[in-house]
Structure 1
Amino acid sequence: PCPRCPMASPAAAGPGAALPAGAGTARRDFYWLRSFIAGGVAGCCAKTTTAPLDRVKILLQAHNHHYKHLGVFSTLCAVPKKEGYLGLYKGNGAMMIRIFPYGAIQFMAFDQYKKVAEFIFLFFYFFFSFYLAYMGIIHAFKMIYTKEGGFSGFYRGLMPTVVGMAPYAGFSFFTFGTLKSIGLAQAPNLLGRPSLDNPDVLVLKTHVNLLCGGIAGAIAQTISYPLDVTRRRMQLGAVLPDSDKCLTMVQTLKYVYQQHGIRRGLYRGLSLNYIRCIPSQAVAFTTYELMKQFLHLN
């Protein structure tokens, strides 16, 4: 066919045809941006899916006086009665501001650097975690600065965040990547299918992606959960009556263990976390894999 003919395209010629001059460069130029967007969308979809469970988890971890005598499902029912159904989504706006760059950089870094760039998004992950006891982001900034020691108040819980992020993100991505590799290697026809944007690339079927993501989230949360409890209590220190006992990571870990033990302290709310993290991570990994195909990242 004539090279000037619009029908003479690489798509019409098949997956093995050469791209026009400059086409590959154009795709590479926007690869980082597309990968960033894919990760951000995946993170936001995952967190929105489980926002009510996140709210209940934080209330249980902080031993909120309105709900501390209740269990997981009792709290889920009590919050709408006391605060309305929007109470289950309280702070979700700030959560999206935090999660989009967190998820975007996390997934992009995993694909490109295998976690070398992970600490870049620590600030985003930590900074926008202050939302439980405030009316909004601006109000939270003012209250934290005036009542929690100026700028140092914004960094309460930084150490357990740093320490806890490595096992959580590491085990999550490692488990998902391992399950994906084993599944495609051992049962490609049963578990895999050609990618929508590149038939030469094999990807997991959607329901298999959901399963692998859920397993990865459950394992990662089990390992890092005590540090998550520690981080939350340190961040909410100003609104808790025992805030003077939770000034450092080690001090907080000891205090929670001595006062409440392992099951009711360090792992309080873990059953809820299993319910929360399995769909959250399942949606995150599955959305990211679909976004990679939609944005031609394969």
Structure 2
Amino acid sequence: MSDAASQHADEPTHWVLTLSCPDRPGIVRAVAGVLADHGGNITESQQFGDPLSGLFFMRVQVSAYAPREVLAGAMSTVARTFAMTWSLDVVGRPVRTLVMGSTAAHCLNDLAFRQRSEKLPVDLVAVVSNHTSLAPLAEFYDIPFHHVPVTSATKAQAEARLLELVEELDVELVVLARYMQILSDDLCRRLAGRVINIHHSFLPSFKGARPYAQAHDRGVKLIGATAHYVTGDLDEGPIIEQDVERVDHTRSVDDLVALGQDVERRALARAVRWHAEHRVLLDGHRTIVFR
């Protein structure tokens, strides 16, 4: 059990419970009843029933003296009754996170700075890159750096090394912070729901390479960035967060790139925070985000 979960006996633990299941009457009553039966005091509760998918989603924060195994055992019974997918974690526990990048440093720097200064609830356990440009930045923040070169001939070995690191370091979340390589379908399936990418465009517009040049060519008045879960379909994964910046005809491509980096940082940081705080639940190819 984590340090946060093994507090002094006279202090309750603050838990976050998330769940999804087919929508039907009695779900909230059953969950609240289980928590109340074990001395839980609900401090935050959000829920949503999606009429399109027919699924019900819920996020609850609860303060309770009951240990994890007791609460989890009680929830397991309710979960079987309602066919739930669910998780129970300690509020604010840092999520073990591996960041992947290539040469652009702004997203990695922002995440590391926010983790240090704003208590972003992640534990950055490694930086993996196909270049060495980010090594000094990783060293500055005291994050172990791993250079894993990628070519068409070594892609399989590089992904195997990534999976080794995920296993060895007990990684819970992988963040592609402007990692300019496409992950294989097999890797995306093995890490489904655990990889967040920042795309420097307001998806679904301007997919693929050089989106700012594409946007400039079309004379857009807004540029944006999209943080999404990674799937085998390029830039098609469930969207977590998007942000925009207004521009006009006087802006060059370089201007858009510079402005866009600020947007990318903001969108990615929010997506990582919400994921780490268990505020994002998958709803098919969409997400439910409890802010």
TM bracket (short chain)? under 0.3
Q: Which has the higher contact order (CA 8 A, sep 6+)?
A: 1
TM-score, reference length from structure 2? 0.27
TM-score, reference length from structure 1? 0.26
Structure with the bigger percentage of helix: 1
